[in-house]
Amino acid sequence: MPSKPKTVDTTKATKAALYAARKVLTRDAQEELQLRIPFDVYFQDPALRTLRRNFDFDETFDVPWEPGIGDGPTSARFAVVDYDSSAETLAPPATWDAENNVFTDTNGVPLNKANIASPQYRQVNVWATLQNALDFYENGFGLGRRIPFGFEGNRLIVVPNAGYGENAYYDRDSKSLQFYYFDSGEKRIYTSLSADIINHEFGHAVLDGLRPLLAESVSAETAAVHEFFGDLSAILIAFRNNKLRKWLAAETGGDLSVDSALSNLAEEFGGAVQNQPYLRSALNKLRYSSIKDDQRQHYMSQVLTGAMFDIVQRLSRHYMKRGRTLGEAFWHTIRRMQCMAIQPLDLLPPVDVTFEDYALAVLRNEEIVNPTDPDGYRQMMIDVFLEREVLSPETGRKLREPHDVFTRLRTQVYHHAADIASSRAAAYRFLDDNRSALFIPYSADIAVQDLSTAVKLTADARRQPRQVLLQYTWREDVVLEGGRFGQFAGETTSMLCGGTLALDIDGNLLSWMRKPGTQPLMGKGADESAEEQGGALRKEAFLNALAARIKAGRIGEIAGGELGILEKTVAPLTANKVGGILRFSLSPHVGIHSDEHDEMGESQWQISS
């Protein structure tokens, strides 16, 4: 067992002062000053404990301390509520012992690997895993900012023993992550003990916070982006773990192209439910052309997960070739991957994100962070995306053409980036003053979807200039004409349009990803014409995607009430009316199941009577 640093006791006031200054303290210093809370979490899940002796708990794991931690556990962004919907019982919460910097069970016994039988152990295991994941997204190697949630409020409710069932969910409507348990033979499987499952579900919550309008997309590909992000999060957060990387180095000899605890997702769950050693694997050779007409979002998502895992492998080989030890090579790989995969989220358009959008955001972010690219990372990533057909050859060629890395945004009315960042109202005036230059139709009622600033780091921990991130959207009415829209024929729905602008604080244009509409633009030049053409193509794709969803019987109703939602009747996409306009939304429960039971067509959504 690795030795832990000696800790230093401080007064409450001193600890708060140190907390305020934590960004300038090293990790070791934070541990000594008890600004981190040690907790023995399960590696991956309990199955690994059986598979690999001595590979069970991570005793080196700790999570950031914060002043508001309390019983539950409860912290700034999470509230653990141990309600079991099967037994209809509420288990007592873990108690926070501030003096000893530890959670204890109802008998005052500290919760650690010696006390896993306590019901409170799972409460703290899931909370600690989530605190760690939150830090992964928010720290400078990630988004470099605090992230919002996609619901009203800021605390995500976490239910570690939600009831009996082979699933786990993110549910925006109840602001919660729900982790169910089930029996496999004589063994009880708790999904709240699987780091992969927790991180996958939290990935949904994070993406829903960053891009809440993705839930309104009718495109199966956008639903697949959600699943991809869940899986990618699970893989990268696992790889971020020091002990796991060491073990992986020993296990694989550096060859990540073999089945490993990294590429395999949710081992215990997969073993119990699907009789295979994982739920999904990032090791696949799927290409975009083989999934583009599919409807199964988990299956589709593997193309992008596979592509990002290809990048992980190539990076690690690159570092090994440069003479790094395996451990070092893996460390450099994950630190760069965190920047490469997480930072681009801030560049994604606010609606209808496609695989190509994500690839372009990844490549653009890499260019911003590493404009000279002496190691050819960007070229390597273009190769991967081309091989997976996520980018077209034409796009690949254009990306490889020499071009200016940083340009200015051409506007009619100048607004300083700091002014734009000052408020949503100010951001709106910037957009409205520049409708023509920003390709926003005069008739569009623009909504500022999100506005934030971020300070991101490069992979070698250099501070990037402060970023201003602005998402804006508008809606266009679309009438559904023709039999292919089935029961929705004749109804009006809306197509979401908009863009994400990323500027640095000096006004350089970092990125501008748009989803154009079809309303006439104010200017009449070639750029406007291309934008309008893009809008027409989008509308066609929107209608085709919706018709395909209807044909596949993937739109249903939700049968719910005070006693809960009946999972069987929750279709992947649901329809409801807001002010007479049809609005679609991805299933409110974004679960971990594979698509196997999604292939029955519509009959599964109905209740037998």
Q: Smallest distance, Å, CB 171 to other proteins?
A: 5
Contact between 145 and other proteins by CB under 8 A: the answer reads no
- Which residues in 272-301 are b (16+ Cβ under 10 Å) and which e? bbbeeebbbbbbbebebeebeebbbbbbbb
Contact between 486 and other proteins by CB under 8 A: the answer reads yes
Sign, CA dihedral 252-256-257-262, equals: positive
Between the alpha carbon of residue 558 and those of residues 219, 223, 270, 366, the distances in Å are 19, 18, 27, 42
Q: Smallest distance, Å, CB 160 to other proteins?
A: 13
Please give the order of strands across the beta sheet that includes 78-80: 78-80, 156-159, 176-179, 168-171, 589-591
Between the alpha carbon of residue 85 and those of residues 58, 162, 178, 181, the distances in Å are 30, 6, 10, 11
Q: Smallest distance, Å, CB 598 to other proteins?
A: 12
Q: Smallest distance, Å, CB 488 to other proteins?
A: 8
Enumerate residues 560-579 that contact other proteins by CB under 8 A.
560-569
Among 509, 528, 553, 594, binds other proteins (CB under 8 A): 553
Q: Smallest distance, Å, CB 561 to other proteins?
A: 4
* Closer residue to other proteins, CB minimum distance, 163 or 209: 163
* Closer residue to other proteins, CB minimum distance, 9 or 602: 602
CA angle (569 as vertex; 565, 575 as ends), nearest 5 = 95
Q: Smallest distance, Å, CB 573 to other proteins?
A: 14
Q: How far is CA 543 from the centre of its chain?
A: 27
Q: Smallest distance, Å, CB 137 to other proteins?
A: 23
Enumerate residues 357-386 that contact other proteins by CB under 8 A.
none
Contact between 81 and other proteins by CB under 8 A: the answer reads yes
Which pair of structure tokens corresponds to residue 286?
A: 């799927």
Which pair of structure tokens corresponds to residue 204?
A: 């949904």
Contact between 69 and other proteins by CB under 8 A: the answer reads no
* Closer residue to other proteins, CB minimum distance, 218 or 444: 218
Contact between 392 and other proteins by CB under 8 A: the answer reads no
Are 340 and 364 a contacting pair, CB within 8 Å?
no
Q: Smallest distance, Å, CB 395 to other proteins?
A: 32
Contact between 89 and other proteins by CB under 8 A: the answer reads yes
User: Could you tell me which of 548, 570, 603, 593 has the C-alpha nearest to residue 220?
Assistant: 548
Contact between 87 and other proteins by CB under 8 A: the answer reads yes
How do 555-556 and 573-578 pair as beta strands?
Answer: parallel
Among 483, 578, 579, 580, binds other proteins (CB under 8 A): 483
Q: How many residues bind other proteins (CB under 8 A)?
A: 68
Contact between 67 and other proteins by CB under 8 A: the answer reads no
Q: Smallest distance, Å, CB 181 to other proteins?
A: 9
Q: Smallest distance, Å, CB 479 to other proteins?
A: 15
CA distance linking residue 304 with residue 310, whole number of Å: 10
Helix (H) or strand (E) holding 393: helix 393-400
* Closer residue to other proteins, CB minimum distance, 189 or 351: 189
> Where do runs of H (alpha helix) occur along 241-296?
242-252, 267-273
Among 109, 489, 537, 581, binds other proteins (CB under 8 A): 489
Among 30, 44, 74, 112, binds other proteins (CB under 8 A): 74
Q: Smallest distance, Å, CB 284 to other proteins?
A: 25
CA distance linking residue 153 with residue 542, whole number of Å: 31
Backbone φ and ψ for 204, nearest 5 degrees, come out as -60, -45
* Closer residue to other proteins, CB minimum distance, 11 or 603: 603
Enumerate residues 93-112 that contact other proteins by CB under 8 A.
93
CA distance linking residue 173 with residue 208, whole number of Å: 12
DSSP letters, 87-114, are TTEEPPPBEEETTTTEEE-TTS-B-SGG
CA distance linking residue 572 with residue 274, whole number of Å: 21
Sign, CA dihedral 183-185-188-192, equals: negative
Among 557, 576, 577, 581, binds other proteins (CB under 8 A): 557
CA distance linking residue 567 with residue 499, whole number of Å: 34
CA distance linking residue 356 with residue 94, whole number of Å: 44
Give the CB-side neighbour count of residue 424, counting CA atoms within 13 A: 9
Q: Smallest distance, Å, CB 166 to other proteins?
A: 9
* Closer residue to other proteins, CB minimum distance, 99 or 562: 562
Q: Smallest distance, Å, CB 605 to other proteins?
A: 8
Contact between 490 and other proteins by CB under 8 A: the answer reads yes
* Closer residue to other proteins, CB minimum distance, 44 or 192: 192
CA distance linking residue 467 with residue 145, whole number of Å: 10
DSSP E strand stretches across 237-321 = 264-265, 280-281
Contact between 552 and other proteins by CB under 8 A: the answer reads yes
Among 426, 455, 559, 582, binds other proteins (CB under 8 A): 559
Among 420, 589, 592, 598, binds other proteins (CB under 8 A): 589
Contact between 607 and other proteins by CB under 8 A: the answer reads yes
* Closer residue to other proteins, CB minimum distance, 93 or 516: 93
Contacts with other proteins, 155-194, as mask; x by CB under 8 A: x-x-x--xxxx-x-x-x-xxxx-x-x-xx-----------
* Closer residue to other proteins, CB minimum distance, 85 or 242: 85
Q: Smallest distance, Å, CB 604 to other proteins?
A: 8
Residue with tokens 């007409």: 293
Contact between 583 and other proteins by CB under 8 A: the answer reads no
Contact between 401 and other proteins by CB under 8 A: the answer reads no
With contacts defined by CB under 8 A, name the span among 48-56, 125-133, 351-359, 486-494 that binds other proteins: 486-494
CB neighbours of residue 492 within 10 Å: 13
Instruction: Give the interface with other proteins as residue ranges (CB under 8 A).
Output: 70-72, 74, 79-81, 83-90, 93, 153, 155, 157, 159, 162-165, 167, 169, 171, 173-176, 178, 180, 182-183, 483, 486-487, 489-490, 551-553, 557-569, 588-589, 599-603, 605-609
